[in-house]
Amino acid sequence: MKIAAIQMVSSPDMGRNLARARHWLEQAAAEGAQLAALPEYFCLMGQRDTDKLALAERLGEGPIQRMLAEAARDLKLWIIGGTLPLATPDPLRVRNSCLVHGPDGRLAARYDKLHLFCYDNGRERYDEARVLEAGETPVVAEAGGLRIGLSVCYDLRFPELYRAMGAPAPLDLISVPAAFTHTTGQAHWELLLRARAVENIAYLIAPAQGGLHENGRRTWGHTMIVDPWGEVLACLPEGEGLVTAEVDAARLAQVRQQLPALQHRRL
């Protein structure tokens, strides 16, 4: 299966962001991709964390979900829809949710981000828990014959999440839509992505926000696709665009046969 990871530099203008996302999904389909993944917060990078509250949608309703469903159906794509804000009973909290749509446009999976980012180095400060409600359950999506472990950004730092998802059966692909800060991304992004691919012997797709945003925030970018040996198959350092690669079932089987580490776990 050919997969595409889309990088964006999203703005505070939701309409403009949705149009750019649709453009890149169309480009992914034109390049022969059967699955395309958008970055975290593809629909909005607001001036304030609370801006996302005004855009919160109920599951199955709203312009963001409508764009994803229509694009999947029109383009005959599996779409891993980055993240969007889904409403909760608390008007001051939303879920940061990743929705997967199939080529028929139907919702195939929903994952709510489990781990909420918090960072303060004295110059930059982030605390997602101020406006986000954490998810509760790991989710594996079945898409085009692939077992896909869904995760979002900060989840990447918690290897036990991927172990839990791969316990019933190995994952074929790990998905990590992200908006890593430039500071943390420069230090840890590639290191963590390659480690998660290697230790789970799985392909990994990591579509990212990548550049200087209108709200002044700078994200690291470096959208990547990594193979089960940890080799970076494709990378886009900065700016809008996409990268593609093949998920090769034979390559996956070969690595697992040569190094059967998943069978050697004792804990």
pLDDT tens-digit readout, 37-66: 999 999 999 999 999 999 999 999 999 999
Who contacts 227 (Cβ-Cβ below 8 Å, separation ≥6)? Answer: 197, 203, 233, 245, 251
Please pick, among 98, 113, 128, 238, the residue that the annotation labels catalytic: 113
Please pick, among 57, 98, 128, 153, the residue that the annotation labels catalytic: 153
Domains with residue ranges and CATH for the chain: 2-263 (3.60.110.10)
d(CA 261, CA 228): 12
Task: Quote the mean pLDDT of the chain.
Answer: 98
Told to judge if 43 belongs to the known catalytic residues of this protein, a careful annotator would answer: no
pLDDT of residue 267: 78
Question: For residue range 204-247, what is the model confidence (pLDDT) as tens digits?
Answer: 999 999 999 999 999 999 999 999 999 999 999 999 999 999 99
Question: For residue range 148-194, what is the model confidence (pLDDT) as tens digits?
Answer: 999 999 999 999 999 999 999 999 999 999 999 999 999 999 999 99
pTM: 0.98
Q: Which residues pair with 125 in a beta bridge?
A: 120
**Percentage of the residues of the chain whose pLDDT score is greater than 70:** 100
Please pick, among 40, 128, 133, 238, the residue that the annotation labels catalytic: 40
User: Rounded to 5 degrees, what angle do the CA atoms 210, 56, 19 make?
Assistant: 45
